[in-house]
Chain A
Amino acid sequence: MRAAAALRGRERPGLRLCFGAAPLALYIALPLGALFVVVPVGELASHLGSPMALRALRLTLETTLAATFLAVLFGTPLAYLLARREFRGRAALDALVELPITIPPVVAGVALLLAFGRRGLLGRHLELAGVSLPFTTIAVVMAQLFIASPFFVKAARAGFESVEPRLEDAARSLGASPWRVFWTVSAPLARPALVSGVVLAWARALSEFGATMMFAGNLPGRTQTLTLAVMTALETDLETAVAVSALALVLALAALLGARWLGGRVGVPNV
């Protein structure tokens, strides 16, 4: 450990630096800790047993896993394209793919409505075919995919870029097809980054609120995810709202630690 620390140019912090660094760390720690103080830990369980919380938890797990799966399925080729190919418009595509990270989620929700809503650009044709997306569980997954997929693409792209091109060249020179090179060389070597991208995208899908509220609405059991349940419970039942918030915090913490552990284990820098 010490050798590794010295290698990265790290030393023990001085008093002044500690004072400088402490405020922000405490500022983040205090509210998160408060979630567990307001409602005693023993009582959290009883509030989480409410049908509202259970249905929201179940729906959240189903939709976030679906959104993460789709982010990997469609994000992997996109990330590989951006990492390994040169073409006109590459910079524009790169910016486009990362845009959902910076636009406000409510704006994303409005945009999804204007595209896939029943009067939307594409949605009006779907409506004629008898398909209506807003206010469905599919709409929840779509909102999460829109907001969360860039986190996977960004991580996967960094992972593919970190693979030595000559390893791929070597495989190709031995007669492997591009498809085979990807599956036997690029993907396994980029695996830690891919895994950490999966966890980050999942965590972002978990915290999705604004786009879901706009595009999918709020109906228990169909579109009410954990974050929407917190917002709804706040109007009447503060303790349930806090309990559900604490649960979301635990899931987010698990995701973060998972990403750290999976990334750190193989010595790949975190994204």
Chain B
Amino acid sequence: MVLVSWTPAQAEALRVFAAASLTEAFREVVEAYQAGHPGEGVELNFAGSQVLRTQIEQGAEADVFASADVTHAEALEKSGLLGPTAVFARNRLVIVAPTGPGRVARLEDLALPGLKLVVAGPAVPAGRYTAQVLGRLGAWLGPDFVRRVEANVVSQETNVRAVLSKVALGEADAGFVYASDAQDAGRVRLVALPDHANVVAEYPVGVVRRSPRAAAARAFVALLVGPTGQAILRRHGFTP
């Protein structure tokens, strides 16, 4: 979630600040945008939404902000730094387990004694969503179930991708990650998590108010919320 990557700097390039979980999808969106706007440069800056918000508050030159969390976009909107926002994608949590026969075949197996469960820590958004899901599971399957699941947590990773890699390596029996993360990862299988126990993360996007390239920024957002962008996002595991 702290990954920051810049494509080579270009004069007058459109600067898109996007949450780390959008990395793969946005690379494709940029390709689609450039196909329709030949010769226009686009710089992508990926990081945790909190980091991007701080960068914009500190005066970083950004044209588009795509957040993984409504609160960060709203805060920028309130302080007049960001124009009106629209939710362009949604993400859910999924339970992943290593491929092949494992100990976790269904949700109830998460409470098996001695199971190794890896989650994102309480400080990162994915960790907060995981805690919310466990709360809902508690209301459904009982507080004792949640206690036994929590006792199985062997690591609180600082980054949701680290959860995924530990499950893919087979070191953990299961983990909670975003549906979009699980989509492109090999070596993991999904374990059903019913919708009523799940939470939905909303991804808002907006044009930065003092953007010198507002027209291009609006064109990028239009592509993102339009059929082309939505098709790419769906392919990467997001829901509209």
| Residues of A participating in the B interface, judged by any CB pair closer than 8 Å | 113, 117-119, 132, 134-135, 213, 216-220, 222-223, 231-232, 235-236
Contacts and interface: CB of A to CB of B under 8 A. Distances in A.
Contacts of B116: 132, 134-135
Contacts of B198: none
Contact of A217 (B50, B124, B155, B170): B155
A218 B171 contact: no
A218 B123 contact: no
Interface string B138-164: 000000000000000111111000100
B169 interface: yes
12 contacts: A117-B169, A118-B170, A135-B154, A217-B118, A217-B155, A217-B157, A219-B153, A219-B156, A223-B155, A231-B158, A235-B121, A235-B124
B158 A219 contact: no
A235 B124 CA distance: 7
Top 6 A-B pairs ranked by shortest CB distance?
A: A217-B155, A235-B123, A135-B154, A119-B170, A236-B123, A134-B171
A218 B118 CA distance: 9
Nearest to B155: A217
Contact of A219 (B155, B166, B171): B155
B62 to A, nearest CB: 22
A119 B156 CA distance: 21
B112 to A, nearest CB: 14
Contacts of B170: 117-119
A217 B157 CA distance: 7
Contacts of A118: 170-171
Given A135-B116, A217-B166, A218-B121, A232 B171 contact: no
- B50, B162, B169, B172: residue with the most chain A Cβ atoms closer than 10 Å: B169
B76 to A, nearest CB: 19
Given A135-B172, A231-B158, 7 more contacts: A117-B170, A118-B171, A217-B154, A218-B158, A222-B154, A232-B156, A235-B50
